Amino acid sequence: MLLKKFLPNEHVKSIFEIKPSLLKEKGIKGIITDLDNTLVAWDVRSATPEVIEWFQSMKDHDIKVTIISNNKEERVKFFSEPLGSPYVFSARKPLRRAFKKAAVEMGLEREEIVVIGDQLLTDVLGGNSAGLYTILVVPIVETDEKITRINRTIERRILRYFRKKGKITWEEK
């Protein structure tokens, strides 16, 4: 079934529920994460103290984090560099290329990486297509850039279907 490509392996309310110890138990050594509405609201330029702390806790546990975003270089670089995080901009998610590039640069196997993101149509579909473990987070804010708004309409239908089938349990805010 085609819809299976949109089903995340896990879903959580925010990245802060994703703890290094839980990842380590699963043999995870790397994270590929989306930026906008996953780490911070899409219109927030820099990492919040909580996000900085989350990145540090991953680093302390030897978990590599790479940010991949469909956004422009200026946006992604400005956010990622202070965190010391590698990044891929203009990623063209859900195409697999950026996910594979990030995996190669981390020097990790597919089963050692999780993909974290807030969108089924880009993050989850891309991660699943690349054969990676996917974790869907609730978007930080309900507003989006124009292109994302179109995706969200489609996404809501898919999420409703998954909820009906008992595959996803959270409710929208």
pLDDT in tens, 2-41: 788 999 999 999 999 999 999 999 999 999 999 999 999 9
Q: Average pLDDT of 39-48?
A: 92
Asked whether residue 173 is assigned to any structural domain, the reply reads: no
| Mean per-residue pLDDT, 79-91 | 96
Domain containing 26 equals 2-164
Determine, yes or no, domain membership for 87: yes
Question: Within a domain: residue 22?
Answer: yes
93 within a domain of the structure (yes/no): yes
| pLDDT > 90 in the chain, percent | 76
How many structural domains are present in the chain?
1
**Residue 43, token pair as written in the block:** 């219109």
Contact 168, 162 (CB under 8 A): yes
- Number of residues in the chain: 173
For residue 151, CA distances in Å to 3, 82, 112, 148, 165 come to: 15, 30, 29, 5, 21
170 part of a folded domain: no
Look at residue 172 and tell me if it is in a domain. Answer: no
**Is the entire prediction scored with pTM above 0.85?**
yes
Query: Can you give the pLDDT at residue 32?
Result: 98
Residue 124 included in any domain: yes
Would you say residue 14 lies in a domain? Answer: yes
CATH code, domain carrying 70: 3.40.50.1000
CA distances to 64, 77, 102, 135, 139 from 110, rounded to whole Å, are 13, 25, 11, 14, 25
